[in-house]
C-alpha cells in the first residue's frame, strides 16, 4: 500500500484541524525513543484519536503523517493507557521492555513488579521482561516440550544483536524506523544454504495465505513479508538461518529440529503470541496440518519452502486451493 502524500486537513472542522495539526507538529519533534517520550507520544495520540475517531480518519492520518500502521501507533498508546500516572523521566526502561510491559496480554503483576524496580532506580531490560512474560505464559501449557527451549533462550546472556544467530528465541517490538534487515540477513549469517530451486515461485493459498517456493534467505522472499505478530523457525545444524526475522516479527520462536510443529503446537503458540487477522511468518516449511490450523484461527500466513516437494505436499495436505501468482 502506498503512503498518502499528505493528510487532507480540510475534511476537519476548524477546531479539530487546529488541535490535530498542532499535535502532529509536536509528535514529529518528539520521536526520540526514551521512555518518557514514548509515554508523551502515546498521550498525544490518544488526544488525536479522540478528535478523529468520530470521523473515521485516525488510520488515514497515521499513514499520511507518519507512515504508521495502527499496530505501530498502539505500541505508544498502550504505554500511556497502561501507565497513565507513571513518571518515566526518572526511570531507566528500555523502549522494547516498555512496549512489552504495556501490551494488553502482559499480566498486571508483571507490570507492577518492573515499575517498582524502575522506581527503585534499577534498569529494566527487554530480556528480563520477556523472560518473566514467557514463564508466565508457559504456565498455560503444562509440561509443554517447548518449555525447555523458551526458558533456556530467555536465560541467554546479552550479545550483539547483529551476531546473535544461535538463540532459540527472539522477541522484537517494531521501531518507527527498523534496521536494514537485508544487510543483517547476509552479514550476520555466512552460512546461507544454496537454494534448491532454479526459479522461485509464489502461490496464493485460500484467500489469506502466501507461500514461497524458493530460497527463503533471498530478497525475493523477505522483501515481500509484512510486519508480523509472530514468526516460527527451526535452527538447522545449531544455527539460525533466518536472523532477519527479528526485524520482521514482534515475537519469534526458534525451535530445535527435534521439536514437532504440528497443528496443536501451532494453535497454542498463536493463541499466546498473536490475535485474529495478524500476519504470521513461517520460513520453515510448515505442514499442511499447520497451515489448516492457522487458517482456522483466522491468521494470515506467509510461509517459505526450500524444497519443491515439501511445498507441493503442504499445499495438497492443507485442503486449500493454490494458485501461482506473479507479484509486482
Q: Can you give the pLDDT at residue 141?
A: 54
Range 285-291 average pLDDT:
87
Inside any domain, residue 18: yes
**Which tops the pLDDT comparison, 176 or 140?**
140
Whether the predicted pLDDT of 167 surpasses 50: no
Instruction: Tell me: do 167 and 105 sit in the same domain.
Output: no
313 and 245 within one domain? yes
Name the residue among 205, 239, 232, 217 with its Cα closest to residue 306. 217
pLDDT at residue 237 in the model:
67
Which residue carries 501468482 as its cell? 325
pLDDT at 3 over 80: no
pLDDT score recorded for residue 61: 92
Residue for cell digits 498502539?
A: 74
* Residue 299 in this model has a pLDDT that exceeds 50: yes
Please give the model's pTM, rounded to 2 decimal places: 0.47
Name the domain count of the chain. Answer: 3
One domain for residues 184 and 302: yes
pLDDT in tens, 63-83: 889 888 888 888 899 999 999
- Domain check: are 124 and 22 in the same one? no
* Gap between the Cα atoms of 178 and 226, Å rounded: 13
pLDDT tier at 45, thresholds 50, 70, 90? very high
Domain boundary among 39, 64, 82: 82
- Please report whether residue 2 resides in a domain: no
The C-alpha cell at 242 is 533466518
Asked if 166 and 284 sit in the same domain, the reply is yes
Domain carrying residue 307: 158-325
Query: Which of 43-52, 187-196, 297-306 has the least mean pLDDT?
Result: 187-196
Distance (Å, whole) CA 105 – CA 111: 11
Q: Which segments of the chain does DSSP mark as H helices, in order?
A: 14-29, 35-52, 58-66, 70-82, 95-102, 108-119, 126-138, 146-154, 181-187, 219-222, 263-273, 288-296, 308-318
Amino acid at each position: 500500500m502506498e503512503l498518502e502524500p499528505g493528510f487532507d486537513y480540510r475534511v476537519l472542522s476548524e477546531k479539530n484541524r487546529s488541535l490535530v495539526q498542532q499535535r502532529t507538529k509536536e509528535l514529529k519533534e518528539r520521536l526520540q525513543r526514551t521512555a518518557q517520550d514514548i509515554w508523551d507520544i502515546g498521550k498525544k495520540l490518544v488526544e488525536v484519536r479522540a478528535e478523529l475517531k468520530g470521523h473515521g480518519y485516525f488510520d488515514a492520518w497515521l499513514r499520511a503523517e507518519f507512515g504508521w500502521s495502527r499496530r505501530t501507533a498502539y505500541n505508544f498508546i498502550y504505554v500511556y493507557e497502561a501507565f497513565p500516572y507513571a513518571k518515566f523521566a526518572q526511570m531507566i526502561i528500555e523502549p522494547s521492555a516498555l512496549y512489552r510491559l504495556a501490551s494488553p496480554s502482559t499480566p498486571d503483576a508483571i507490570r507492577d513488579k518492573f515499575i517498582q524496580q524502575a522506581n527503585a532506580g534499577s534498569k529494566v531490560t527487554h530480556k528480563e521482561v520477556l523472560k518473566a512474560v514467557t514463564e508466565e505464559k508457559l504456565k498455560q501449557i503444562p509440561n509443554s516440550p517447548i518449555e525447555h527451549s523458551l526458558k533456556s533462550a530467555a536465560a541467554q546472556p546479552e550479545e550483539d544483536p547483529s551476531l546473535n544467530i544461535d538463540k532459540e528465541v527472539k522477541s522484537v517490538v517494531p521501531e518507527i524506523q527498523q534496521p536494514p534487515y537485508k544487510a543483517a540477513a547476509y552479514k550476520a549469517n555466512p552460512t546461507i544454504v544454496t537454494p534448491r530451486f532454479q526459479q522461485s515461485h509464489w502461490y496464493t493459498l485460500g484467500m489469506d495465505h502466501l507461500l514461497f517456493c524458493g530460497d527463503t534467505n533471498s530478497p525475493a522472499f523477505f522483501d515481500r513479508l509484512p510486519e508480523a505478530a509472530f514468526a516460527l523457525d527451526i535452527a538447522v545444524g545449531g544455527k539460525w538461518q533466518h536472523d532477519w526475522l527479528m526485524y520482521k516479527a514482534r515475537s519469534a520462536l526458534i525451535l530445535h529440529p527435534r521439536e514437532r510443529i504440528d497443528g496443536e503446537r501451532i494453535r497454542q503458540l498463536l493463541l499466546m503470541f498473536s490475535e485474529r487477522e495478524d500476519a504470521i511468518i513461517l520460513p520453515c516449511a510448515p505442514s499442511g496440518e499447520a497451515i489448516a490450523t492457522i487458517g482456522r484461527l483466522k491468521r494470515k500466513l506467509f510461509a517459505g519452502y526450500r524444497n519443491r516437494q515439501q511445498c507441493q505436499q503442504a499445499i495438497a495436505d492443507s485442503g486449500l486451493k493454490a494458485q501461482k501468482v506473479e507479484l509486482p
